Amino acid sequence: MVRVYFRPFRPGRGKAVDTCPAGERAVLLWEEKGLAFSRKNESSREARLLLAEALCREFPEIEGLPPMEKDVWGKPFFPDYPHIYFSLSHTGTGVCCALGSAPVGVDVEERRPRKYQEQILRRFSREEQRLWDQTPPKERERLFFQLWVLKESYVKADGRGLRIPLDSFSVLPMDWEACWTGNGMPQAWSMAVADEGGEKEYDLRLYDMEEFSSVLAVCSLDKEIAEQVCMFDLSAKQNLSK
């Protein structure tokens, strides 16, 4: 099972809504050992705090935040716990992480007007561009972010990141009409991607974080992805059902 966690930022501030004591202790210990990331990147720090707290909940036998290393593509992993896969992401509204027992990628983006959307779409597959062309203009911005986070989650799950050409694979909703009728965000998406040695069967899930003006996507070889995003807001504990 892939679990997904999100921690919102305080309005107008670059820190999370709450500070998790367990996560904070783990990251501080990591920093004291000289293993930590730069303090200059506050969003990265918040993402690792969230990861530490998620580990505390999912794997209570693990004390603190384990040392990380990077593979040949630069994707971080836990060398002492090779059975635990994780992915981190952050945007202007908060940070998120995903934990699972198979390769996983997560991406979150704040939905706000972006320049050059159409130019970016030209880097997508022909099928995705056709979907864009068939979508009413007023719904295209929403579709853009759906496609972007889904594609980003895949390249992160694969591990090669943006070394993978964005037009070499497609992510498409099972129900195309749901993309522009306003009847809700489609959760069932299909993906076509050709790898050397055959196709890998990745599963995708999309979450509309409407409360935070964001959209979040997860991609994994694990066939079971949580239907809910676990919210780490200690002042208002809740889950967002999707």
Higher-confidence position of 95 and 233: 95
Q: What is the DSSP string of the chain?
A: -EEEEEEEBPTTSSSBSS--HHHHHHHHHHHHTT-PPPTT-HHHHHHHHHHHHHHHHH-TTS-S----EE-TTS-EE-TT-TT-EEEEEEETTEEEEEEESS-EEEEEEE----TTHHHHHTTS-HHHHHHHHHS-GGGHHHHHHHHHHHHHHHHHHHS-GGGS-TTSEEEEESSGGGGTSSS-----EEEEE-BTTB----EEEEEEEGGGTEEEEEEESSS-EEEEEEE--TTS--EEE-
- Among the listed ranges 9-13, 45-49, 86-90, 159-163, which one has the minimum average pLDDT value? 9-13
Global pTM reads: 0.81
Using one digit for the tens of pLDDT, what is the confidence trace for 62-112?
988 999 999 999 999 999 999 999 999 999 999 999 999 999 999 999 998
Pair 204, 169: CB distance under 8 Å: no
% of the chain with per-residue pLDDT over 90:
50
Pair 91, 97: CB distance under 8 Å: no
Domains of the chain: 2-241 (3.90.470.20)
